[in-house]
Amino acid sequence: MGVKMKSEAPLAARMRPINLDQFVGQSEIIGSETLLRRAIEDDRLFSSIILWGPPGTGKTTLANIVAETTKAYFVTLGAVFAGKRELREVIQDARERRKLYGIRTILFVDEIHRWNKAQQDALLPHVESGEIVLVGATTENPYFEVNK
């Protein structure tokens, strides 16, 4: 981001943490010596995760920190605008990237609760096979809203 663009960015964007040491709160899951923190810092995030909480609690910020910390290729989709076609493209690119370069893909889906069951189910075989690691963010309780 250029100097002028950065100085004109909203305060929240300028103050957003860029690493785990700057991330405040959620010490139960990303505090020092927690499993998730070690997985992120050691670039060993192989399991998919759902980040659930009210707006403004750091779900997207944590996903961005994962993107900056790991060596994986990081793709972001917003569930409000992305559908199965975009998901298919991400999956195909992830397959090729893994095959050609040995680089894994982490897919961040913001507002994942907005996808219907069929869209969420389209992810399942690719997550289970390890083709992608899913990081989903939702403001809705995943027990009731994600894949129900």
E runs forming strands in the chain: 49-52, 73-78, 105-110, 132-138
Mean pLDDT, rounded, for 63-89: 95
Q: Residue 5: which pLDDT band, with cuts at 50, 70 and 90?
A: low
Report pLDDT digits (tens) over 11-38.
888 889 999 999 998 899 999 999 999 9
Q: Per-residue confidence at 142, pLDDT binned at 50, 70, 90? A: confident
Q: Do 27 and 69 contact (CB within 8 A), yes or no?
A: no
User: What is the distance between the alpha carbons of residues 99 and 25, in angstroms, rounded to a whole number?
Assistant: 38
pLDDT confidence bin for 9, thresholds 50/70/90: confident
- What residues are paired with 50 via a beta bridge? 136
Tokens of 9: 């960015």
Distance (Å) of CA 17 to CA 58, 79, 90, 136: 9, 24, 27, 19
| CB atoms near residue 121 (< 10 Å) | 11
Domains of the chain from N-terminus onward: 3-145 (3.40.50.300)
- Torsion from C-alpha of 129, 77, 22, 71, nearest 10 degrees: 50
Amino acid sitting at position 27:
S
Q: At residue 105, what is the residue type?
A: T
Strand partners for 77:
109
Helices 117-128/84-101 angle, 10° precision? 10
For residue 144, the model assigns a pLDDT of 76
% of the chain with per-residue pLDDT over 90: 76
